[in-house]
Chain A
Amino acid sequence: MAQVKGPKRISRSRGGDALMYFVMFFFGIIFAIPLYYTVLTSFKPLNEMSVFPPRFYIVNPTTENYTLMLRLLSSSKIPFSRYLANTIIVTIMGTTGGIIIASIAAYPLAKHQFAGKALMYNIIVWAMMFRGEVASIPSYLIVAGLGLFNTYWSIFLPAWSGTGGTFMMRQFMEASIPDAVVEAAKIDGANEWNIYWRIIMPNVKPAWLTLIIFDFGAYWGATGGSYIYKEQIKLLPTALGMITGSGASRAGAGCAVGVMMLVPPLILFLFSQSAIMETMSTAGLK
């Protein structure tokens, strides 16, 4: 073995490979079935919807469910494009703002020494375990008191105040950046903002790419709940909810809606995932 050039590798046995592929394949199939059935149903014509026994394939695939969905949406008071534009704006602004705020706060929590740091860490962990049902009433009153109703700030500010993103970024900075690197940068004369932007963030790229996926998914599905009731600024899921809410009679259109809600986050997911995989092959702090 001593003559092997380059970094030494830990061996991978054939048996281990086989076991792993079997497990991944087995669960992969199980996970795929409901997704497959959703996509399938969205292309099913009405007369195949209630065939007995139910079919796992389509004889005459159709896009009529998608046109029905669009027809239902275009008959609404506000044009469909408006709901879509609203959701796109909220998703982009919410995700960007949230990640910047969370990662700037995570840096001192991971790499600085200051009074109250341990307490802050504990409060974050505790807050993640407090169920929001009852806190949602005071929270609602605060949002109302600040006059944020019918503005997207009522979505952004409570979301940005969340502990999840900050805590996750902190955990990654702690795990993957040695203190020595931060100190070396400081000795070279970098200020804290430079360290954050040029040392920390590039080295936790998989973390914020992952956070982008979470946040995008959350904002894309956000309804604005009880804070937004002006029709012009309502979001896409609110409009689509009216279709999925109508039950089995519109199962096809409902599935079309489901597919439409799933596809954009998944496309983004594919992009960011391939970026993460790319980092994996080149990354590594020396």
Chain B
Amino acid sequence: MSLFKKKNSAVLERNRPISYVMLAPWAILFIVFALIPIIIAVFLSFTSFDMLNTPQFNGIDNFIRMFLDDEIFMIALKNTLFMAIVTGPAGYILNFVFAWGIAESPKNVRTILTLLFYAPSLGGSILFIFQLIFSGDSYGLLNGFLLEYGLIDSPIQWLTDKQYGWGIIIFVSLWMSCGTGFLTFLAGLQTLNREFSEAGAIDGIQNRWQELFYITLPQMRPQLLYGAIGTISGSFGCGGLNAALTGNPSTDYYTHTLSLHIGDHAFTRLEMGYAGAMCLVMFAMMLFYWFFVNKGLQRWSTD
């Protein structure tokens, strides 16, 4: 499939000032408002800092404390990895399936389907509807329904019972997952080069599944990478939803995540050094994960 290697960069001139001029407005903002704060945060990881006194260098104490002396960190780590390894990829695949399904659908239903899948991702302001649906008393929508049909005898504490909380979080996070990744895939499917499909048809590609794997997905690599980064940072950074649904902290910290733990130490306990160290550990895990995802997507889509 050398069809997609249309690089001929030797012809392009190199190192012209115009490249840097065009990059500058964004790059300057990025350095001032994003990169410098990140560098400071990395530096703080090796200190003890309460935001009032000057940071005290303490070597790797923060990291030792994290892994040997913080049980809640371990719960948060386990939950976060679960979200990153199971829920994140599930959402990612669903996003692509929905986007592809919409692109394959007849024109008149495309817009309504897109709207339907996309709307929940804007649903931050209607999250409390799940408090009504999963409410622990018998007026809750789900409890009321189950009681009415005699499927349960007494209302279930959906959000505080450890048995159910996670299922609801996963459901709602999948419900809200069709945001940036989904729209990017959809837009990507619409900028595909149609000539490849026509050439593919002549070369013997017979049905939509073959077209998907041999023509569509290889062309979508840049968008798939973009979606993957979003998914990784979103699923490692999960926690807002957990807090909104099951409370923060939840019963016995059972839905606690790294992001919530970092927020707790940074803003409630004012242990910026320790929180910074957790950010750094999380960053390392994401990079590690990204390394494999990138390798996988690269190998699979350019053969």
* A residues in contact with B193, CB < 8 Å: 176, 284-285
B249 within 8 A of A: no
A233 within 8 A of B: no
A179 within 8 A of B: yes
B243 within 8 A of A: no
B220 within 8 A of A: yes
A59 within 8 A of B: no
Known: A104-B22, A105-B27, A113-B15. A161 touches B223 (CB 8 A): no
A102 within 8 A of B: yes
Closest to B275 in A: A134
Within residues 242 to 280 of chain A, which ones have a CB less than 8 A from any CB in chain B? 244, 248, 251, 254-255, 257-259, 261-262, 265-266, 269-270, 273-274, 276-277, 279-280
Contact of B194 among A7, A134, A175, A270 (CB under 8 A): A7
| CB pair A125 B229 closer than 8 Å | yes
Q: How far is the CA of A151 from the CA of B215 in the complex (A)?
A: 49
Closest to A51 in B: B139
Q: How far is the CA of A251 from the CA of B211 in the complex (A)?
A: 48
Within residues 17 to 66 of chain A, which ones have a CB less than 8 A from any CB in chain B? 20-21, 23-24, 27-28, 30-32, 34-35, 37-38, 41, 50, 52-54
Contact of A16 among B102, B197, B207 (CB under 8 A): B207
* B residues in contact with A112, CB < 8 Å: 12, 16, 18-19
Q: Of A53, A102, A127, A130, which is in contact with the most chain B CB atoms at under 10 Å from its CB? A: A130
| CB pair A31 B180 closer than 8 Å | no
B228-260 CB contact bits vs A (8 Å, 1 = yes)? 011011001100000000000000000000010
Chain A interface, number of residues (Cβ within 8 angstroms): 113
Q: Count A-B contacts at CB 8 Å.
A: 331
| CB pair A113 B9 closer than 8 Å | yes
Q: How far is the CA of A183 from the CA of B11 in the complex (A)?
A: 8
Contact of B120 among A31, A137, A178 (CB under 8 A): A31
B163 within 8 A of A: no
A123 within 8 A of B: yes
| CB pair B198 A7 closer than 8 Å | yes
Contact of B222 among A160, A164, A172, A276 (CB under 8 A): A172
* A residues in contact with B198, CB < 8 Å: 7-8
Chain B interface, number of residues (Cβ within 8 angstroms): 123
Closest to B29 in A: A161
In angstroms, how far is the closest chain B Cβ from the Cβ of A156?
9
Contact of B6 among A120, A180, A262, A270 (CB under 8 A): A180
Known: A174-B222, A262-B119, A266-B115. A179 touches B9 (CB 8 A): yes
Contact of A221 among B20, B125, B197 (CB under 8 A): B125
Q: How far is the CA of A126 from the CA of B49 in the complex (A)?
A: 25
* B residues in contact with A174, CB < 8 Å: 222
In angstroms, how far is the closest chain A Cβ from the Cβ of B35?
7
In angstroms, how far is the closest chain B Cβ from the Cβ of A249?
12
A133 within 8 A of B: yes
Within residues 124 to 169 of chain A, which ones have a CB less than 8 A from any CB in chain B? 125-131, 133-139, 142-143, 157-158, 160-164, 166-168
Q: Which residues of A contact B (CB under 8 A)?
A: 7-13, 16, 20-21, 23-24, 27-28, 30-32, 34-35, 37-38, 41, 50, 52-54, 101-102, 104-105, 107-109, 111-115, 120, 123, 125-131, 133-139, 142-143, 157-158, 160-164, 166-168, 171-172, 174-176, 178-180, 182-183, 192, 196, 203-204, 206-207, 209-210, 213-214, 217, 221, 237, 240, 244, 248, 251, 254-255, 257-259, 261-262, 265-266, 269-270, 273-274, 276-277, 279-280, 283-285
Q: List 14 A-B pairs, Cβ < 8 Å.
A: A10-B201, A112-B12, A114-B15, A123-B35, A125-B290, A130-B38, A133-B267, A135-B37, A139-B34, A163-B30, A179-B11, A180-B8, A204-B191, A213-B183
Other than A53-B148, A54-B139, A129-B283, give 17 A-B pairs with Cβ distance below 8 A.
A8-B198, A12-B207, A13-B207, A20-B104, A34-B123, A35-B116, A112-B19, A126-B287, A127-B30, A128-B229, A128-B230, A131-B259, A135-B41, A175-B188, A180-B8, A196-B22, A214-B179
